[in-house]
Structure 1
């Protein structure tokens, strides 16, 4: 299967099947409120920053996008990858609503990229407040080449940092506590931990017998989890007094 397709066949659902209401545990009802259009291929991953009312998406169309959750407008489109974008995550931030914010993306081009956007008060408006909102924020601090805002928002071409070293599809990524390090999970059966500022590989986590399919970091401790097609997941503990790995087995697939 072409890496741009990722797991398209395995994840395809029955045609016409939509879930538009979910019953909460306390009987609360939820409803569909907004649709985000713009990607030209499958969307593999989404994440949200509720403080700033923005969300981000990763797609097989080789782009990642940042959106206003209030208006549905596309604020930024990152076009620096040459393969399917499989995962996207916001860097840990302060409580400041405005300013520059870093994101990380993992891709089928065997790399992860660090890039940034400028988010200001315009993105916090609701569509009722300003239907013409376009994410036209101050890009003065951005190093990336940009174009004028349009239906794709502002296009970002260049990454702040390209993290290389994997020899297979990079399927997932996550920021470690503090935001100075990033973990990536790859189909090359390893996970890498990078120093984001220098772009250096600090640790290569090996031991899985098949491709990795996910990784996740604890928000405040030096703990990371990796999962694999080998039917196991592993907890890696990098706290100074422990330095260990635990293997969890039991799944059949």
Structure 2
């Protein structure tokens, strides 16, 4: 089934996809000083054959890893503990049949969750110790994984985002079918469907410290789902006048939202009537990323710029738009003493 053709409401995203596919993509790694507004490019890595939609990072057993999700249907995992110009993936996941839109490491175990345009989410295992030793012995040939532990197939359209829920054996996925699904990741069983959005979902994020979920949609709203009580509740917020493209938690008491109206807003969970801060950009906003360690967040833009702000809304720095050829889709933070950030555009990665 061609899910994309069914959704007129996703036409703007489709245009982004068409533009992105015209050029190669890469990931780039930048380094900055925590007390400075400057940053510099460390390296550029071309691991994929098509656009990168999502990038994430995790520390496991004293090592730092990043994972990239691509329109070429694969996920690449790379050890970036020591950054040099010869970094190559140690693991490639090739179990999806279409573009991979999101990837998330589990916080406490070796599971990875992915969301794809083939209408499924996959749960699979990433064992850093085994794969790293295997990777070294094989002379830099990556380990290829093709079979998931569980395939979550209850959506009826493209799955655009996913996340792990705090303190539970559960995960959540978001789809263009206007639904968010919560699963038991030990069994793959669907627990509950979160319905209410009027158009396709664009993002889902679960709070790391408590049982809250936020979903965003093309219907110009984001919804806060509260599972702290036996009977869950939902609150609807209309803080943007165009599609809400990204939402995430800023600590345990704030939410970030960004949209195609070119605004990023910071909200206090205790008083959601109006935003604490509104930051206006010059271009459409893609996936927001938060560094809880440094109290910073990144704003990747359609026009190739990346802005970095602190939690009070002060601009820290701007990464040069010359670093990428196309829109910057997202970014992630590496947990080092001085802040490092990885952002992908098209098919390349930079740090």
Whether these two folds match at TM > 0.5 is: yes
1:48 aligns with one of 57, 64, 67: 57
Structure 2 partner of 1:219: 208
Give the Cα–Cα distance (whole angstroms) in 2 for the partners of residues 183 and 223 of structure 1: 11
Aligned equivalents of 1:21 and 1:154: distance in 2?
27
The match for 1:57 among 68, 73, 79 is 68
Are the equivalent residues in 2 in contact too, given 1:172–1:213 (CA < 8 A)? Answer: yes
Work out whether residues 62 and 79 of structure 1, in 8 Å CA contact, stay in contact via their aligned partners in 2. yes
> Which structure has the highest strand share of the two?
2
Q: Distance in 2 between matches of 1:2 and 1:168?
A: 6
The gaps in structure 1 that reach 5 residues or longer are: 95-100, 124-132, 138-147
Please report the RMSD computed on the Cα atoms of aligned residues, expressed in angstroms: 3.3
Question: How many residues are matched?
Answer: 226
Is the aligned partner of 1:114 residue 2:123? Answer: yes
Query: Residue 198 of structure 2: which of 209, 221, 240 is its match?
Result: 209
Rounded to whole Å, the distance in 2 between the matches of 1:195 and 1:45 is 24
Structure 2 residue 195 is matched with structure 1 residue 200: no
Corresponding residue of 1:186 = 175
The answer to whether residue 100 in structure 2 is matched with residue 82 in structure 1 is: no
CA–CA separation in structure 2 for the residues paired with 1:39 and 1:208: 33
Given the superposition, is the C-alpha separation of residues 134 and 40 from structure 1 closer, same or farther in structure 2, using an over 3 Å criterion?
A: farther
Q: Indicate the residue corresponding to 1:135 in structure 2.
A: 135
Q: TM-score, normalized by length of structure 1?
A: 0.78
Q: What SS does the corresponding residue of 2:15 show, helix, strand or coil?
A: helix
Q: Deviations over 1:152-171 (max 9, x none)?
A: x1100100111110000000
Unpaired segments ≥5 residues, structure 2: 6-11, 243-351
Post-superposition Cα deviations, 1:135-194, rounded to whole Å, max 9, x if no partner, equal 348xxxxxxxxxx7755x110010011111000000000000135111000000000000
- Of structures 1 and 2, the one with the larger relative CO (CA 8 A, separation 6+) is 2
